[in-house]
C-alpha cells in the first residue's frame, strides 16, 4: 500500500477531520532531533571602508574634447570619478550630536578623558542632577531656584508654560540682576569622544561613538595563559585600514585588519558581532584538536554561542535561542522550593557554568555549506 493509500485510510478512521496525520510514526521526534542539531549561521558583512566607484555622465572625453558619435551627434558616456580620496565608510561613525571641547577649573577630568559641552534646549528632563552639569554656574542658580519654587517638579518647572514664567521672573530669580531669557543651555560631559576631522572647523568638533558600532574585540593571551581583552574603536580601525591600503599586497597579508597592542600578549583572535564560539568542557580545553565540530552532540551544540555585543566586557547569546520566539530564558532555572523559574531574565549572558565565556571560548568559522572549523 502506498503512502497516499495509507493517508486516505487514516482519514476514514479519524474521528476529527482536523487531526494531524504524521507522515511516519516518529515524525515529531525526528523533527525535533533534526531542529536541535541545526547550527544557525549569519552572513557577515564587517566591511568598514572600501574604494568608491562613482561615475558621472559627460559629453567630453578624458582630453576634454567633445565626444561625437557615429551619427555625427554628441553622445555622453559614464566617466569614473577621480576627485577626492575615493574612500567610502560603510559603518556609522558617531552620534549625530556634535560637542565642543571646554575647560572648567572646578572639575577634575580623569586621565585619558576630555571635557566637552553640547547645547540643549530646556525641557522636563532637567532635574537637579542635570542642572548641576550646566557649564554656567549663574544659569545653574537661576534654574535651581525656579525648580525649587515649583516643588522640584521638572515637568511643571520646565514645561513651555513654566519656561515662559521663569523668563518673566528671571530678574528676581537672578538675585535682582538683569539676565537674558534662557531657552538653551550648555551641558558638559566627560567621556572618550574623538575629534571629527583634521582640517578646518572639524578639528575643533568632537563626537561620541554610535552605540552598536563596536566591531572588534581583540583577545590576547599572556605566557601564563591569562587572557587580556581590548575593544578597538571604529575610528582607529578606519585609520588603520586606510594606512594598510597604502601597502603592497604582499605586505598587507602580514598585517591585521585592525590595530593590535602586542604588549597585551600574544594575539589569539578577534571577535565581532554574530561570530560563533564554542565553550569547551574542562576535558576539551586540554584536547581542543580532538573536538569534531562537524559532528557535535546535542550537549555540545548547547555550548555554541554567538557574540551579541561588547564594551568593557563581552556578551553572548546561545546559538539555538530565538529572541522573537522565546525571549528571556538564557539564565532561567527552576526553584524547586518556590516552584517557579528564577534567573536574570535576559537573552544574553557573559558567563556559562560559572565561567566567563570570553576567558575560555574557542572562536569558530562556518562556511556557506555549513562546515564548522576552528578559527
Least confident of 8-12, 209-213, 281-285: 8-12
Identify the pLDDT of residue 109.
Answer: 82
Q: Three-class SS of residue 242?
A: helix
Whole-number Å distance between alpha carbons of 176 and 165: 16
Identify the pLDDT of residue 18.
Answer: 67
Whole-number Å distance between alpha carbons of 337 and 175: 63
Distance of CA 324 to the CA centre of its chain: 19
Of residues 2 and 133, the one with the higher pLDDT is: 133
pLDDT band with cut points at 50, 70 and 90 for residue 280: very high
pLDDT at 4 over 60: no
pLDDT at 371 over 90: no
pLDDT at 36 over 90: no
Q: Which three cell numbers stand for residue 185?
A: 543651555
Q: Where are the domains of the chain?
A: 94-191, 216-271, 276-374
Of residues 12 and 191, the one with the higher pLDDT is: 191
pLDDT band with cut points at 50, 70 and 90 for residue 185: very high
Identify the pLDDT of residue 100.
Answer: 83
Whole-number Å distance between alpha carbons of 38 and 60: 57
Phi then psi for residue 41, to 5 deg, are: -120, 155
Among candidate residues 320, 296, 326, the one with its CA nearest the CA of residue 40: 320
pLDDT at 10 over 50: no
pLDDT at 2 over 60: no
Q: Which three cell numbers stand for residue 269?
A: 583572535
Identify the pLDDT of residue 1.
Answer: 47
pLDDT digits (tens, 9 = 90+) for 125-147: 999 999 999 999 999 999 999 99
Of residues 194 and 268, the one with the higher pLDDT is: 268
Whole-number Å distance between alpha carbons of 32 and 40: 15
pLDDT digits (tens, 9 = 90+) for 298-343: 888 989 999 988 877 898 988 887 754 444 555 566 777 777 766 5
% pLDDT > 90, the chain? 27
Identify the pLDDT of residue 123.
Answer: 92
Identify the pLDDT of residue 209.
Answer: 67
Contact status, residue 110 vs residue 189, Cβ threshold 8 Å: no
pLDDT digits (tens, 9 = 90+) for 101-116: 888 888 888 777 788 8
Identify the pLDDT of residue 79.
Answer: 64
Identify the pLDDT of residue 206.
Answer: 81
pLDDT at 165 over 90: yes
Amino acid at each position: 500500500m502506498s503512502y497516499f493509500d495509507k493517508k486516505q485510510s487514516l482519514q476514514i478512521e479519524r474521528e476529527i477531520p482536523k487531526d494531524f496525520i504524521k507522515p511516519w510514526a516518529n515524525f515529531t521526534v525526528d523533527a525535533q532531533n533534526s531542529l536541535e542539531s541545526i547550527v544557525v549561521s549569519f552572513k557577515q558583512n564587517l566591511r568598514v571602508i572600501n574604494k568608491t566607484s562613482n561615475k558621472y555622465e559627460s559629453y567630453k572625453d578624458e582630453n576634454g574634447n567633445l565626444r561625437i558619435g557615429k551619427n555625427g551627434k554628441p553622445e555622453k558616456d559614464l566617466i569614473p570619478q577621480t576627485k577626492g580620496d575615493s574612500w567610502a565608510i560603510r559603518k556609522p561613525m558617531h552620534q549625530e550630536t556634535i560637542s565642543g571641547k571646554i575647560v572648567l577649573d572646578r572639575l577634575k577630568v580623569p586621565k585619558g578623558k576630555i571635557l566637552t559641552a553640547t547645547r540643549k534646549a530646556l525641557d522636563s528632563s532637567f532635574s537637579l542632577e542635570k542642572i548641576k552639569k550646566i557649564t554656567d554656574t549663574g544659569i545653574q542658580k537661576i534654574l535651581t531656584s525656579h525648580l525649587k519654587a515649583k516643588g522640584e517638579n521638572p515637568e511643571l518647572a520646565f514645561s513651555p508654560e513654566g519656561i515662559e514664567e521663569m523668563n518673566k521672573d528671571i530678574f528676581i530669580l537672578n538675585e535682582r540682576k538683569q539676565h537674558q531669557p534662557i531657552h538653551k543651555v550648555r551641558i558638559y560631559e566627560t567621556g572618550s569622544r574623538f575629534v571629527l576631522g583634521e582640517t578646518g572647523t572639524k578639528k575643533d568638533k568632537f563626537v561620541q561613538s554610535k552605540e552598536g558600532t563596536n566591531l572588534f574585540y581583540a583577545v590576547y593571551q599572556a605566557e601564563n595563559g591569562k587572557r587580556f581583552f581590548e575593544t578597538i574603536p571604529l575610528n582607529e580601525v578606519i585609520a588603520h585600514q586606510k594606512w594598510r591600503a597604502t601597502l603592497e599586497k604582499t605586505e598587507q597579508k602580514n598585517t591585521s585588519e585592525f590595530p593590535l597592542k602586542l604588549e597585551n600578549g600574544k594575539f589569539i583572535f578577534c571577535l565581532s558581532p554574530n561570530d560563533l564560539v564554542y565553550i569547551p568542557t574542562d576535558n576539551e580545553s586540554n584536547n581542543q584538536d580532538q573536538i569534531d565540530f562537524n559532528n557535535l552532540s546535542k550537549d555540545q551544540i548547547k555550548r555554541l554561542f554567538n557574540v551579541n555585543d561588547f564594551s568593557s566586557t563581552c556578551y553572548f547569546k546561545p546559538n539555538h535561542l530565538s529572541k522573537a520566539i522565546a525571549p528571556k530564558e538564557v539564565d532561567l532555572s527552576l526553584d524547586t522550593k518556590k516552584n517557579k523559574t528564577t534567573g536574570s531574565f535576559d537573552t544574553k549572558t557573559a558567563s556559562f557554568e560559572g565561567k566567563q565565556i570570553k576567558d575560555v571560548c574557542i572562536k569558530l568559522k562556518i562556511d556557506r555549506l555549513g562546515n564548522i572549523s576552528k578559527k
